[in-house]
Chains A and B, each alone.
Chain A
Amino acid sequence: MAMTRKQRRAAFIGSGVAILAVAVGLVLFVLEDTIVFFYTPSEIAEKGVAVGQRFRLGGLVAEGSVERNTGATVKFTVTDTIKTLPVTFTGVLPDLFREAQGVVAEGKLNAEGVFVADTVLAKHDENYMPKEVADALKEKGVWQKDDDKK
């Protein structure tokens, strides 16, 4: 089909815009459901996160709170030194998971107020304090620089 140069260019730009529009629409449509917010236990107590909403929980693993006796399910408590939240996780914990160290877990709150984690994250550094956790702790004024390296 005979097209002038202008028509052809218009057609290509048009199809380019169309594909871009589809992509933008896709992104916006998906974005709200796939963004995962980050909260500390205090923020959850303040704001109240809905049961079943997916989010990330950050803080320190409370000392003495890790229980492993129920098979492959681990229970522990996450604290930001002001408030705590019980967590349950089924699976293999990352190698750097330790009490009194920083942790970021992703999952949902259940009806009993326990955080059911399906992912527990760790970075490969023995004094890992996730940036989000450190910032949150700093905000609360309870940040302590770790001087003793284990």
Chain B
Amino acid sequence: MIAETGHFALILALAMALIQSVVPLVGAQRGDAALMKTAEPAAQCQFVLVAIAFFALMHGYVTSDFSIVNVWQNSHSLKPLIYKISGVWGNHEGSMVLWILILTLFGACVATFGRNLPPGLRARVLSVQAMIAVAFLAFSVITSNPFARIHPAPADGQGLNPILQDPGLAFHPPFLYIGYVGFSMAFSFAVAALIEGRVDPAWARWVRPWTLAAWMFLTVGIAMGSWWAYYELGWGGWWFWDPVENASFMPWLLGTALLHSAIVVEKRDALKVWTILLAILTFSLSLIGTFLVRSGVLTSVHAFASDPARGVFILVILCIFIGGSLALFAWRAPIFRSGGLFAPISREGALVVNNLLLAVGCAAVLFGTLYPLITSAFGITISVGAPFFNSTFVPLMIPLLLLVPLGPFMSWKRADLAAVMQRLLFAGVLAMIAIVVSYWMKYGGPVLAPLGIGLGFWLIAGAISELVVRSKLFREPLRVGLRRLFGLPRSAWGSAIAHAGLGVVVLGVVAVSAWRVEHISVMKPGEQIEIAGFDLHYVGTTPRRGPNYEDQVGAFRLEQGGVEIVKLESAKRVYTVRNMPTTEAAIYPLWTGDLYISLGDAVGATGRTVRVYYNPLAPLIWLGAVVMFLGGGISLTDRRYRVGAPKRARKAAAQTAGAT
């Protein structure tokens, strides 16, 4: 009964979305206030309906209603409750409902909190958002109905893929979806602006909070996926350039570019056409990513199993939305009058370079991801992996990372490069010291690694320098300086923290990539190996039972200088329902890095293959992402974003143009 309610709610939502995609748009074209006003309650109602469907499905999982096909295929009565809940989105149909839920959530938020938007723009934005909802609701209802029933109901479910039974994974999809589905808002704003024929600084001010929120969550979502792969898959790697990973990374790259170019639109009324295009392209990449993951076109560790008919459906959706929006762009973009002039060496110029490098980097990743697809259409099977991406993406990102600290110091319209470099002297010196120290500490290691460490410190110190210089901290009595420091606008703090977070990530990435130590050997009980200055003793392997699995637990003892530090366990696990083996790695965080143990197969009577890694500074990779999230969050709380009305926004924009 509840499942049928959910199903009905989904269909109602589709009908509501159809109305919402047409009526407010007509109203906006005609200037009919009554028609335009229908958008708000429609958007809110749509969200409520999809939420009903979502929770109806969740109810099916929580009560283990195996008469629902989706629950039967992906759940099991023995599963712990939290994984029953996360099982809702651990499959194609359920995750599609989550996708649509986030989509309608953003629509409802704009309807509820976007009262400051001019009614015409708001109506158009919500209409476009509804069009996207129509497409995906139709997809869900027609091809991927999560509420299909099976009769007679099976006694028990087929169990969830045990790899997905994990706390990290429970939160990874929602964060990720808030991220790249959230970019639909920027897309809707862009298309609405094209229809309306107007892009002004106020538009940019309204777009930025939604884009920033989406970007924040996408950052964390990607980081969570990476962290999960690190500790769950037992391979000690944190990024594989897997097509599904790339599918989430590409919108992140363009979304970052969009965030930065929107600043130029807001502050200088320039780069409008480019920003609109970026907004369209960012969400287009989200759509392409959705297609890649769900169509079965790619071989990947975590692509959803699905059939070609669904792939074709999504492909059609893609063509309509990407083709349609780009066609609209080509037709309408020329009417936007370009704004302020600026010299190449200026903050605008720096942001243009930022955008160029991010876009080109994204194009490189896109090429590497799609190239195997293209060649397989011609019958040649190839794979493009880490070597390609490391050789193309990384060299493109290095100039960008070098320039990041300069940007905030450059003034609008025309900047004095010498003055900028002078302000960054401290950061530069610190980076140099870091290079020398890391070269000396890791003498004999890869030559480029100390430079990478220097780059990370350059970013962090540059971010700190920006706050210090702007508040003139050391030029006046400390109390005055500190008060000014904390009085700086939140967006300044936000961007500084986010850039510093980027530096933290760079440090982690460089350290793990360059100085990781790997040791593979067969160990018998009582033997020990030496790694990174520690001694690892292998005690033995014993069996153990869990709620829905059986373990072979390898016990280890970590010592240094004869003193025991900790006991660690790594297990080979078999989930009983699906007879599927996995490896549970042991990760012990030390101050300088992770000790990572992965138990392998038995060799002979008592031996075990053991793989041990020492990953220096690995936690920084994900810590940096959290710092970026915090920076974005602080930026979101800036007062400017609550001021939305056109007149006040323009005045405020003029006032703050000089300060930031």
* A contacts, CB < 8 Å to B: 1, 3, 5, 8, 11-12, 15-16, 19-20, 22-23, 26-27, 30-31, 33-38, 56, 68-69, 71-72, 90-93, 95-96, 106, 123-126, 130-132, 135-136, 150
Q: B317: CB under 8 A from chain A?
A: no
Contact status B383-A90, CB under 8 Å: no
A143 CB to nearest chain B CB (Å): 16
Contact status B387-A33, CB under 8 Å: yes
Contact status A93-B601, CB under 8 Å: yes
| Nearest 3 CB-CB pairings of A with B | A92-B600, A34-B388, A38-B381
Tell me the residues in window 326-373 of chain B with beta carbons closer than 8 Å to chain A beta carbons.
338, 341-344, 352-353, 356-357, 360-361, 363-364, 367-368, 371
Contact status B382-A36, CB under 8 Å: yes
Q: Which chain B residues border A69 with CB–CB below 8 Å?
A: 603-604
Q: Which chain B residues border A125 with CB–CB below 8 Å?
A: 161, 305
The interface bits of chain B over 570-582 (1 if a CB of A lies within 8 angstroms of the residue's CB, else 0) are: 0010000011111
**Which single member of A72, A92, A93, A130 contacts B299 (CB below 8 Å)?**
A130
Q: B598: CB under 8 A from chain A?
A: yes
**Which single member of B305, B343, B360, B580 contacts A19 (CB below 8 Å)?**
B360
Contact status B382-A35, CB under 8 Å: yes
Q: Which chain A residues border B583 with CB–CB below 8 Å?
A: 92, 95
Contact status A126-B580, CB under 8 Å: yes
Contact status B367-A27, CB under 8 Å: yes
Q: CA–CA, A36 to B381, complex, Å? A: 9
Q: Which chain B residues border A68 with CB–CB below 8 Å?
A: 601, 603-604
Q: CA–CA, A53 to B341, complex, Å? A: 54
**Which single member of B301, B367, B382, B578 contacts A123 (CB below 8 Å)?**
B301
**Which single member of B163, B344, B578, B609 contacts A8 (CB below 8 Å)?**
B344
Q: CA–CA, A23 to B391, complex, Å? A: 11
Tell me the residues in window 423-469 of chain B with beta carbons closer than 8 Å to chain A beta carbons.
none
Q: Which chain B residues border A124 with CB–CB below 8 Å?
A: 161, 163, 301-302, 580, 582
Q: CA–CA, A123 to B302, complex, Å? A: 8
Q: Which chain B residues border A130 with CB–CB below 8 Å?
A: 299
Q: Can you list 23 contacts pairing A with B, beta carbon distance less than 8 Å?
A: A5-B338, A8-B341, A8-B344, A15-B344, A19-B356, A26-B391, A27-B392, A30-B387, A30-B388, A37-B381, A38-B381, A68-B603, A68-B604, A69-B603, A92-B234, A92-B598, A92-B600, A124-B161, A124-B302, A125-B161, A125-B305, A130-B299, A132-B299
Contact status A23-B582, CB under 8 Å: no
Which residue of B is nearest A18, CB measured?
B356
Residue from the set B338, B367, B392, B396 with the largest chain A CB neighbour count within 10 Å: B392
Q: B611: CB under 8 A from chain A?
A: yes
Contact status B384-A5, CB under 8 Å: no
Contact status B609-A3, CB under 8 Å: no
B164 CB to nearest chain A CB (Å): 9
Contact status A37-B382, CB under 8 Å: yes
Q: How many residues of B contact A (CB 8 A)?
A: 54
Q: Which chain A residues border B391 with CB–CB below 8 Å?
A: 26, 30, 34
Q: Which chain A residues border B344 with CB–CB below 8 Å?
A: 8, 11-12, 15
Q: CA–CA, A69 to B604, complex, Å? A: 7
Given A34-B384, A92-B601, 4 new contacts (CB under 8 A): A23-B360, A31-B371, A38-B381, A92-B600
Q: Which chain B residues border A20 with CB–CB below 8 Å?
A: 360, 363
Q: B522: CB under 8 A from chain A?
A: yes
B530 CB to nearest chain A CB (Å): 16
Task: Please judge, given known A-B contacts A11-B344, A71-B522, whether A93 and B383 are in contact too, CB under 8 Å.
Answer: no
Q: Which chain B residues border A19 with CB–CB below 8 Å?
A: 356-357, 360
Q: Which chain B residues border A136 with CB–CB below 8 Å?
A: 381
Q: Which chain A residues border B385 with CB–CB below 8 Å?
A: 34, 36
Task: Please judge, given known A-B contacts A5-B341, A23-B360, whether A30 and B299 are in contact too, CB under 8 Å.
Answer: no
Task: Please judge, given known A-B contacts A23-B392, A26-B396, whether A16 and B364 are in contact too, CB under 8 Å.
Answer: no
Q: CA–CA, A85 to B578, complex, Å? A: 31
Contact status B356-A72, CB under 8 Å: no
Q: CA–CA, A75 to B164, complex, Å? A: 31
Q: CA–CA, A19 to B344, complex, Å? A: 15
**Which single member of A15, A26, A92, A150 contacts B609 (CB below 8 Å)?**
A92
**Which single member of B360, B384, B598, B610 contacts A35 (CB below 8 Å)?**
B384
Q: CA–CA, A75 to B481, complex, Å? A: 68
**Which single member of B360, B381, B395, B578 contacts A126 (CB below 8 Å)?**
B578
Contact status B343-A3, CB under 8 Å: yes
B423 CB to nearest chain A CB (Å): 22
Contact status A23-B363, CB under 8 Å: yes
